[in-house]
Each structure stands twice: as C-alpha cells, then as structure tokens.
Structure 1
Amino acid sequence: MCGIYCCISARGHCELDPEDARILGRRGPDALTTHKTTITTDTHVRYLTFTASVLALRGAQVQVQPIVDQPSGSILCWNGEAWNFDGQPVPDNDTHFISTILFEACKHSSDVEGDVLKVLSKISGPYAFVFYDAKSLKLYFGRDALGRRSLTVDDRCDNDANLTIASVVGKSIGTTAQEIKTAQVYLLDLKQPQLALTALRYETFSPRINKAVPIQPISLSDTPSTQAVSNLVDKLTTSLQLRVQGIPTYTAINDSEDPAKVAILFSGGLDCTLIARLCHELLPKDQPIDLLNVAFENPRVVNARSSSKIASRCASDVDTYEACPDRLTGRSSFAELVKVCSERQWRFVAINIPYEDFLEHRSNIIQLMYPHNTEMDLSITAALYFAARGQGSVATPGDDTFYKPYTTTARVLLSGLGADELFGGYARHAAAFTRAGYEGLNDELEIDFMRIGTRNLGRDDRVISHWGKETRYPFLDEKFVEFALSLPAWEKCGFRTGNPVPKHFEIAPAARAIEDLHPEKMLLRCAMWHLGMKGAAAEKKRAIQFGARTAKMIGGKTKGTDIVSVD
C-alpha cells in the first residue's frame, strides 16, 4: 500500500501542504520521498512534482518511491499488488518488477501508448499508478479495471491552474477533485501547450455476467450443485493463498508477543467467516489470526432502549457494545471457529467506540472518504475506519472474563467485499427475483458488480489505508471474479420459482438441513456447511452500518442520501 501525489504546474514546483503530506505518509509509513523534474519545450515549461509514501509488503527490502529510471528520466509511482503478470506469478517486489517492464517497454517503442496499455492489461491485482515517460513527454495514470485502489484527479486543465493527482483529497488538490473511472487509463501529452486528458481503454475487460435463464426453473434443485461448491472452495482458496502467504516479518512487530500478520474485518457474517475458515488451511497453525470486530455507542439506539419500559428494567445489565448485532454475530462465529479450528490461536478483538470518539474523528473520516460525501458513506466508512485502526481489547488466554488492551500488529486486512455483489446477497436481489424472476435477478447482479469500483472500493481504500494497513479482497481476485460471473444465477443463489422469497427483515429458524439455509448467497452457505461451520452458514446478511450501529449517529431524521454536514 502506498500514497501517491503528482502535481503538474506551469508556475513552478508544487509544495505539498504539510497536513496533506502527513495524511499521505500515514498510508505508507515506511518511506516518504519527493522527486521533481522540469519539462522545457519551445512553447512552454512544465514543472512536475511526484511524492510517494510506501507501506512495504513485498520483498526483503523497502522499495522507495517514486522510482526514477536514471538513463531515461522516466518516473513511476505505484500503489498496488501485481500478483500475476501475463499469467505468471510476480516474484519478489512487484513495484520493482512493474517499473522495470514499463521503463524497458518505452525505451525502444514506436507505439508507446499501445505498449503501456499492453503492460497494464497483463497485470492481475489491485493497483493505482502514475507513470511519466520522459522520452515521449507523456504522463499516464489510472487504477485497475475493478477499482480496488483509490486515485483522484483535479482536471481543471489550463495553463493557469495545476493539475493534481492523488490517492487522498486534501488541501493540495482541491474540492473539485473526482475519483477517476476504472475502465480506462488517462493520458496527458505534456508536449502540448494546453493540458487535455485523453482516455485510453484497457485491452482486457472483466468477463460478462452469465445471464442464462433455466428452461424449466420449477425443476431446479433447491441448492447449487456439488461441483459448483467444490469449485468455489478451490478458487477462493487460490485467491486467498496469494493474499496471505509470504507476508514479510517486520521489526515493528517483533517486540509483540505472538504477532499477527493477517487480520480480518470480522462481523461474524458469512463472507468474512468463510475467509477466516479458509485462512486456517493456508497459514501455519502457530500463526495467530486477529478478528477485528467493531461496535459503536449510538445515542439514538441507547435512548430508544432506555425509554422502553421493558428494556428499562434491565438496562443496567445490558452492555451497549455487546448488544450490537455484529458483536453478537461476531462472538457466535468466533466460538464456532475456535471449536472447528481448535489448533489455531484466534484473537477476537473487541473494538468499542464511544460516541465521543466518533465525534472526535468524524471530520477526519469525512475528509478521507471525499469525494464521497453522503450520510451513508459516513456510516459505512466510520465502521471501517475504527476497525482498521485495530485498537480494542482481547480476552486473556484461559480467562474469558478478563480483557486486556490490544492493538493488532497485522498490516494486511482481509475483507469480504464483493461477495454480495457476485452471489446475490442484498435485499434488492431478492426483490428483483420476486419482481422479474431470473431475468430481473441477472440484471440487478450486473448493475451491482459494474458499479462496485465507483461506489465502494476507492472510498474504502482511502479510509482504511489511513492506518498504514492494506486491504485485500479475496472475492475480487480476477480469476475468482471470472468464475463467479460465469455461473448461472441458480448456482449462486437459492431463489427458486414457486418458493416464497423471505423479506430481508424476516428471521428464518435455525437450519436443520442444507436445504433450509437462507437463499441469498446460497453457494457460499453450502461451502460453509461442508466446511463444518453450520452456524455461520445460516447467518443472515446485515449491512455494516446497522450491524455496528453507525447508522444515524447524529440525529435520527437523516437519510442515507443526505450530504454530510462539515461543522
């Protein structure tokens, strides 16, 4: 994980605002470096300023950025993980690997634009980048086709204003900045006297969703096929293997007793618990795994409980945090993990956030999530922000009644994001099926997947990375996405013609058989069932803002689409 800042100016080299430099440095605490260069043509002068921070997670040494190719003067700022290149694993440090290929591709090329696109299109993994080719005086920037890393641009392109590109929006980039789109690479030809952005399409695109409709839907089996379940486990395990194995050990965690390299954003729900269960098969048994579970003190919920006649009689016995839905689910799934995977040290990190703490950090969260700016954005990112900080308490081994302060040492955080979009986990998917059958469900799944990069990923990256952590998304690996999209809807979900679809607020009884599981994300539920986690397999989907109780923290009349107040 790294932070990127690039400024192109006609007036002189840009000086990064000290507060912005601090925020950029928090994304990459291992190095923060600036490189400046000047372009002089017959008609104009351009001043280029590149700053990059580095969170080192690949290779034996920290690869300081920006990377400058001394013979040519070309420059790369890279924020990402290239897991594979042209179908082959990327060895050692991926930043060095990608920079070498880009620099070499441009040295003798007669089609620089085409060759840069070819290189980028062969990368499998999340990334954002800024690349300056000194030979052609062209600057490229963008993020991967799924949008798993943040990159914003202020594209007021004229000779009297700076053009700025950055991982996080701050004072140095301005309030007109926007997240860049995910399906294209942007090009600036710096030989031209006027700056103008050109969009180039990636050579490869994500595969299309399978929109098949069953010929005889009434005769479908109640559950996905055994082969689909087996393939899911195999492909998700392969995705996880890339993301959890080979993480270096750093001096910063050597002083910690039993340091964790991997932590999971853990609500106790289906997606994150499946990730945890498969991680157990991949990591050494003596390596602990931290489960980060966040719960908030929401005044609206507390007041509602205290005003209830029934609740008031036992209010003193109710812990605000332990009563949060995600805390209840989290502890339940944690207990099942401990039982099924007893050889592992699982650390349930209870992260309790008082209302005062939320207010103290609120303005910082709002700045980090920008240009996203709604109440729903705030309620989601507040939970991610404090969960990623990883500061809470854990039970003392052998004594579940005594808790001690604990902050995770893990720099890699795993998230289950993408499972709902790929496997039909939202209430609107059930509604679409009820309204228009498999055709409606397919259309809704396609919409959700296509907008995940602009709706979630860039925003979440800006917030989580503030703590010097990198989020990895096993469900959004390119090969796994290709597999998930190729499946027909009835192999992913348990929605069946002729069977009533439960409403999102209806609570089904505990599943006694696999056929009784909730229909949404049925394929994942079947996988969990066969992995011995029958309790977690039956967990209902719950949005993070309701599970952690971050929804409507200030005032109960706000809507999710309302713009947040910055006061």
Structure 2
Amino acid sequence: MKLLLPLHFNSSNSTNHRVSSFNEESHVLDNVSDMPESFAEFVFLGATLQLRGVSPVCQPLMDSSGNVLVYNGKIFGGIEVGIDKNDTESLMQSLGNCCSCRSQEHRTTCDFNGQAKGSIVDVLSVIKGPWAIIYWQESSKTLWFGRDAFGRRSLLVHWPTTEDPRFLLSSVSPTSSSLQDSGFEVENGTSGIKFWEELSCGIYSMSVDVKKSDGRFHSEIKKHEWTNAMLKELIEWERDSIEPKPAELNFSHSRTSSAELDINSYSSVLAQNVLTALRESMLRRISLYNIYQAQKETVPVAVLFSGGLDSMIIAALLDKCLDPNYEIDLLNVSFDGESAPDRISAKTGVKELRRVAPLRRWRLVHIDADLSKLTWEKKRVLSLINPANTYMDLNIGIALWLAARGEGWMYEESNNETDEDKRVNYTSRARILLVGSGADEQCAGYGRHKTKYMHDSWLGLHKEMKLDMQRIWKRNLGRDDRCVADSGKEARFPFLDEDIIRMLLDIPLWEIADLDQPSGKGDKKILREVAHMLGLHNAAILPKRSIQFGSRIARESNRKNFGSNRAANQASAGSVVINVQSYFS
C-alpha cells in the first residue's frame, strides 16, 4: 500500500516547502507560493494479497460517496466480517458510516441528520488483529492513516523536507531510496538523516480542506488517542503482580519438572488458561473462512520452524486447529546445511510432532543458503528492512525472506518400508506464515532479561520487558512484515493476539518466568508448562536461540564483515550500521 502526496503549484520555481515538527504527535505541512492558487494531489496505490472472501477485491477501494481505502490487515474481532466477505469491504462499510468529526475530544457519537454516528477513531480502536490503513474521507476532506497498537503491519512515512517536499506513506521503501536516501551512508561521512521512518503506532488525521487567502496551503497532522479502554491498558503494559512474597516464590519454585506436574495446582491452572487462549488465537488466524476460498491450496498454512519452544508450540496448536486433511509445512532455514543448530533441533522437533500427532502429514522444508552467493537477494532484503539498517536486521531479514519464499527440499516418504525416503525439491505454496514473535518479549526469553533481573530484581525485569513490548513495532514487526510480504505471504503472530497479551499481563510475573533457574528451565516458564501439556517434553527444555544464530547466518556474516566471530563480538556487530559499499565489495 502506498500514498504519495505531491504538493503542486502553478509555478514550481516560486514554491517554498516547509515542515515543522512540534512534537512526536504533531506535524505541520506548510506550503507557501507567490501564486494565488495551490492544490494538493493524492495518489493512492494498492497491491492486494487477498486471504479472505469468495471474490477478488481490488485496492484502492472507492465507495459511492468518494471515500477511498487502502488497507493492509486482518480483522479477527471488533468489526463483524461475514463468512463470504473480505476484511477491506467490511471495514469500508463501517468507515463509511462514520461521522465527519475529527476532534481530539470526540468521545461520544455525533448526531448527523438525526442519526447517531461513531467516529473513525472509534472504529479503528475496536479492531482486533494486525492492520495498517490509509483512508480518505470525502465529506470532511480528511486523510486518515495509521497502524495497529503493536505495529504488526508495516507503514513507513516520509515527512516533507526542503530536499523532497512530498508527504509519502508506504508499506515498503523503493529499492533505490533504500540504498541512496535511507541513511546507510552514515559511516561514509554523509548525511545520517533517513528518508523513510517507521510510522509510530496510532491513528493520524490530516485535513486538507484548508487554504489561506494568500494562496498558502496549510495542514496539521494530528495523532489521536485510542478510544478502546482495554487497548490503552495493553499499550501501557502494566501488571499488578510484579514482586512475589517469599511464600509465593517458594510455592512457584516447588514445581520444577513435568514429573511433578499437578493439574490442580495454581501454576498448572494458569498454564492451562494460556493454552486455551493460544488455541483460540490460532483458530482466529487459520480458520478456513479467513483464507481466500477461491484458492484451493494443498497447504494453506506454514510455520517458521526452528524446532525451538515457540515454533513447536505453534506447530502443535496448528495441528489441533487445522482440518486433518491438510498437510503442514515447517520452513527451516540453514546457512550450514544439516549442521546448523536450528536444522538439528528442527529434525528432532519433527519427530516429536509425529509422536504427538501421528495422523498429520508434516513436511520439514530444508531451505539451504550460502550467504556469499546471495548478491541480488541481499540487495533486495536491504531495501525491505529499510529504515532498519544494522547487520543484525539484515541477517534476520535474509533468513525470514528465504523462509517466506519456501524454496527448498524435503524427504518424500516411501510407501515401502525397505526403501529409503527420497530427497525431492519442494516449494511451499502456503500463503500464511505463522511466526512466534512476541513470546520472548512477554515471557522473559531474552538473555538481557536475566541480566536485568540479576541486577535489578523483579521490578527491573518488568521494566525491561515493558520496554521490549513498547518498541517491538520499531525493532521487529515492521521489518519482519515487509520481508515476509515480499513473497506474497502474510505473517501472522499468535502470541501477539490482544487476548493473549491481556492474559499474560494478568498472570503474576514470577509465574511467567523464574530467572533464578538455568536457561531452558526458568525463562519462559509458563510456555514450557504449556509445551508439557501438549506432550512436547523435549521442546519444553530447549534454551532460547535466535534465528540469526540458529541458522548460522550471523557466523557467516561476522566472518565476512568483521573477520571472525570474536572480532564481531568485540565490535558489538549486531548494532553496527551496515556500510553498503564494503558489504557488497
């Protein structure tokens, strides 16, 4: 999705463009011309990956009132979407019934010709699911845009500057701008100002029906508050029970293995509640009416699969929710063949899944890559991760991009027990890719969480987890969405369902994690209990391993760009900004 707002005047030579930023939530677009007339031109562009409804829907969508909608997202709740309807069509109808009120103080329905109407902010605030939107409301001459409260769908913005006075919104940056205008040149001594930036989560409006008598175009962009009280609580990400009393902590420590699992204990009840909520989250994301029914795919859903705790839980839940006639693709990326840690754990994980779900046909798709041979691919991913610009971003982006393409090989099982399985090339056609993002942030899965806990105890741990959740849109989700969507696939995040976030916040922190225990035991404790309940006893004790390390792309990148892993660690390679010239030399 993309919107370009060039600000045109009768004489370009006499135009002076200015943008001033009052604060994080307000921008003013101000254009001055010596000519008496000026106008703004909107250009809407949309490309559709349709996964819902019975007939194709092209974007941008325009209704009979002149409203225009470009929408990238899914509606899993809050707005009713009929079984045979598409999300964009349903949202367009709801937005078309809204009042023209743009006031920040709008809190109740407006009266319009005797009919009560809600506001656009009200409609967007109740949507459950990932979304990014650009919407032109003709009646108020107002442009609305924004992204969901957790940033699960990408939306980039270019604020007008003297060098480029256009106001631009786009899901992804063009390849040329990523290499020339994005700030990758900062190490070469040129400007570090980025052309694109991630639009912070929220709902924005810009009224363009304003022109001063002197021919001056003036418009202020406002950021609106969410009107959904529960959503505002999730954004604030506060929990009531952070520091345990000694008796509570001792009780929590008493359960250390599945052999001691008491299904009636408080901890087990909490884990069972999380398991139930995760199953409902999965159902919302893979129900067949949520998949474009004009497509008859053999495999409608795939899993980004390392064989680790999060991906194993997702795969096991998917088996319980998806029609048993469908196969499930497990996409595993390796830059070290069969020797990469993620490849080893993936092969072990498939065996465990076949044990707990023997009737399902599981396909482990081996996606092998050689970083030194991915010249075109690296340039492509570099444009997709923009404005993210570190070696860590690029490594993760390449691994995700390769997984989303789904091109690899698999073992074709032989019907004859005496014959060996045959290795065949295979490309996954699944349109939906389930990803475990959000599990580590919410359940203390990162190494820095344990470090913070050791230094600042429970309150320090809570603050670090809160920081991770409130910046996940900028550090992870926008980048990941762009890398997956480039292959015509859609990333869905079961752990970032609104109800899951709410439930985990309601659980005492010491039941979420016990970081006095070793890695693979106390971190993400509650998810390990969920894994035991699913019969995934091997996966339940696996330590955390990020995709860039598990696939070994980080090792290959470190050797090329820093000489060795040791040198890379000394340079804190993960946070180093990419030097494009040396990277492709």
1:214 corresponds to which letter in structure 2?
P
CA distance in 2, matches of 1:239, 1:250: 21
* Contact persistence 2:70–2:135 (CA under 8 A): yes
* Structure-2 residue corresponding to 1:566: 580
Tell me how far 1:162 sits from its aligned partner: 1.4
Tell me how far 1:122 sits from its aligned partner: 1.1
Tell me how far 1:202 sits from its aligned partner: 1.8
CA distance in 2, matches of 1:262, 1:160: 42
1:357-413 superposed Cα distances (whole Å, 9 cap, x missing partner): 433311111111000000110111111110111000010112664210000010000
1:486-497 alignment runs, 5 A limit? 486-495=506-515
Tell me how far 1:249 sits from its aligned partner: 6.0
Q: Indicate how the Cα distance of structure 1 residues 241 and 362 shifts in structure 2: closer, same or farther if over 3 A, else same.
A: same
1:57-72 alignment runs, 5 A limit? 57-70=51-64, 72=65
CA distance in 1, matches of 2:272, 2:408: 37
Q: Secondary structure at the match of 2:486?
A: helix
Tell me how far 1:221 sits from its aligned partner: 2.2
* Contact persistence 2:67–2:96 (CA under 8 A): yes
CA distance in 1, matches of 2:139, 2:294: 40
Q: Indicate how the Cα distance of structure 1 residues 334 and 327 shifts in structure 2: closer, same or farther if over 3 A, else same.
A: same
* Contact persistence 1:60–1:248 (CA under 8 A): no
2:575 corresponds to which letter in structure 1?
T
* Structure-2 residue corresponding to 1:131: 135
CA distance in 2, matches of 1:251, 1:424: 41
Q: Among residues 477, 481, 487, which one is paired with 1:457 in the alignment?
A: 477
TM-score by length of 1: 0.82
2:374 corresponds to which letter in structure 1?
F
* Structure-1 residue corresponding to 2:457: 437
Tell me how far 1:219 sits from its aligned partner: 2.2
Q: Secondary structure at the match of 2:97?
A: helix
Q: Among residues 184, 193, 197, which one is paired with 2:221 in the alignment?
A: 197
* Contact persistence 1:267–1:329 (CA under 8 A): yes
1:46-87 superposed Cα distances (whole Å, 9 cap, x missing partner): 1111010001101101111111112x211110000011126x
1:243-264 superposed Cα distances (whole Å, 9 cap, x missing partner): 011144667655xxxx200000
1:100-111 alignment runs, 5 A limit? 100-106=93-99, 109-110=100-101
* Contact persistence 1:415–1:472 (CA under 8 A): yes
Q: Among residues 233, 237, 245, which one is paired with 1:215 in the alignment?
A: 245
Q: Secondary structure at the match of 2:42?
A: strand
Tell me how far 1:10 sits from its aligned partner: 2.2
Say if 2:388 is the partner of 1:369: no
Tell me how far 1:43 sits from its aligned partner: 4.6
* Structure-1 residue corresponding to 2:121: 117
Q: Indicate how the Cα distance of structure 1 residues 548 and 532 shifts in structure 2: closer, same or farther if over 3 A, else same.
A: same
* Structure-2 residue corresponding to 1:342: 358
1:56-95 alignment runs, 5 A limit? 56-70=50-64, 72-85=65-78, 91=83, 92-95=85-88
1:513-552 alignment runs, 5 A limit? 518-552=521-555
1:93 corresponds to which letter in structure 2?
N
Structure 1 alignment gaps of length 5 or more: 13-40, 297-319, 505-516
* Contact persistence 1:494–1:519 (CA under 8 A): yes
Q: Indicate how the Cα distance of structure 1 residues 101 and 158 shifts in structure 2: closer, same or farther if over 3 A, else same.
A: farther
Q: Indicate how the Cα distance of structure 1 residues 278 and 350 shifts in structure 2: closer, same or farther if over 3 A, else same.
A: same
CA distance in 1, matches of 2:295, 2:249: 58
Tell me how far 1:144 sits from its aligned partner: 0.2
* Structure-2 residue corresponding to 1:306: none
* Structure-1 residue corresponding to 2:347: 331
* Structure-2 residue corresponding to 1:11: 8
1:68 corresponds to which letter in structure 2?
M
CA distance in 2, matches of 1:445, 1:468: 32
The percentage of aligned residue pairs carrying the same residue is 33
Q: Indicate how the Cα distance of structure 1 residues 134 and 534 shifts in structure 2: closer, same or farther if over 3 A, else same.
A: same
Q: Secondary structure at the match of 1:187?
A: strand
Q: Indicate how the Cα distance of structure 1 residues 89 and 230 shifts in structure 2: closer, same or farther if over 3 A, else same.
A: farther
Q: Indicate how the Cα distance of structure 1 residues 400 and 474 shifts in structure 2: closer, same or farther if over 3 A, else same.
A: farther
Q: Secondary structure at the match of 1:276?
A: helix
CA distance in 1, matches of 2:91, 2:378: 37
* Structure-2 residue corresponding to 1:308: none
Q: Among residues 359, 365, 376, which one is paired with 1:360 in the alignment?
A: 376
Q: Among residues 405, 408, 417, which one is paired with 1:389 in the alignment?
A: 405
Say if 2:433 is the partner of 1:413: yes
Matched residues, number? 488
* Contact persistence 1:157–1:196 (CA under 8 A): no
Q: Among residues 198, 223, 239, which one is paired with 2:281 in the alignment?
A: 239
1:7-39 superposed Cα distances (whole Å, 9 cap, x missing partner): 111238xxxxxxxxxxxxxxxxxxxxxxxxxxx
Say if 2:39 is the partner of 1:45: yes
Q: Secondary structure at the match of 1:11?
A: strand
Tell me how far 1:103 sits from its aligned partner: 1.3
Say if 2:273 is the partner of 1:269: no
Structure 2 alignment gaps of length 5 or more: 10-34, 107-118, 183-194, 211-216, 256-265
CA distance in 1, matches of 2:316, 2:420: 22
Q: Secondary structure at the match of 1:534?
A: coil
CA distance in 1, matches of 2:218, 2:162: 6
* Structure-2 residue corresponding to 1:188: 206
Q: Among residues 457, 464, 469, which one is paired with 2:489 in the alignment?
A: 469
Q: Indicate how the Cα distance of structure 1 residues 110 and 294 shifts in structure 2: closer, same or farther if over 3 A, else same.
A: closer
CA distance in 1, matches of 2:128, 2:82: 10
* Structure-1 residue corresponding to 2:322: 283
Tell me how far 1:356 sits from its aligned partner: 3.8
1:299-314 alignment runs, 5 A limit? none
CA distance in 1, matches of 2:472, 2:292: 32
2:351 corresponds to which letter in structure 1?
A
Q: Secondary structure at the match of 2:88?
A: helix
CA distance in 1, matches of 2:42, 2:531: 52
Q: Secondary structure at the match of 1:348?
A: strand
More deviation, 261-270/155-164? 155-164
Superposed structure 1 runs of 4+ greater than 3 Å apart: 88-91, 109-114, 157-160, 171-175, 247-254
Q: Secondary structure at the match of 1:233?
A: helix
* Structure-1 residue corresponding to 2:214: none
Q: Indicate how the Cα distance of structure 1 residues 187 and 443 shifts in structure 2: closer, same or farther if over 3 A, else same.
A: same
CA distance in 1, matches of 2:427, 2:296: 11
CA distance in 2, matches of 1:400, 1:369: 41
Q: Indicate how the Cα distance of structure 1 residues 80 and 329 shifts in structure 2: closer, same or farther if over 3 A, else same.
A: same
1:451-483 superposed Cα distances (whole Å, 9 cap, x missing partner): 111110001111110000000000001111111
CA distance in 2, matches of 1:390, 1:248: 19
* Structure-2 residue corresponding to 1:154: 158
* Contact persistence 2:54–2:294 (CA under 8 A): no
Q: Among residues 186, 198, 209, which one is paired with 1:179 in the alignment?
A: 198
1:10 corresponds to which letter in structure 2?
L
1:489-508 alignment runs, 5 A limit? 489-495=509-515, 500-502=516-518
Q: Secondary structure at the match of 1:118?
A: helix
TM-score by length of 2: 0.79
* Contact persistence 2:54–2:293 (CA under 8 A): no
Q: Secondary structure at the match of 2:329?
A: strand
What value does the CA root-mean-square deviation take over the aligned residues? 2.3
1:196-219 superposed Cα distances (whole Å, 9 cap, x missing partner): 422222223242331521122552
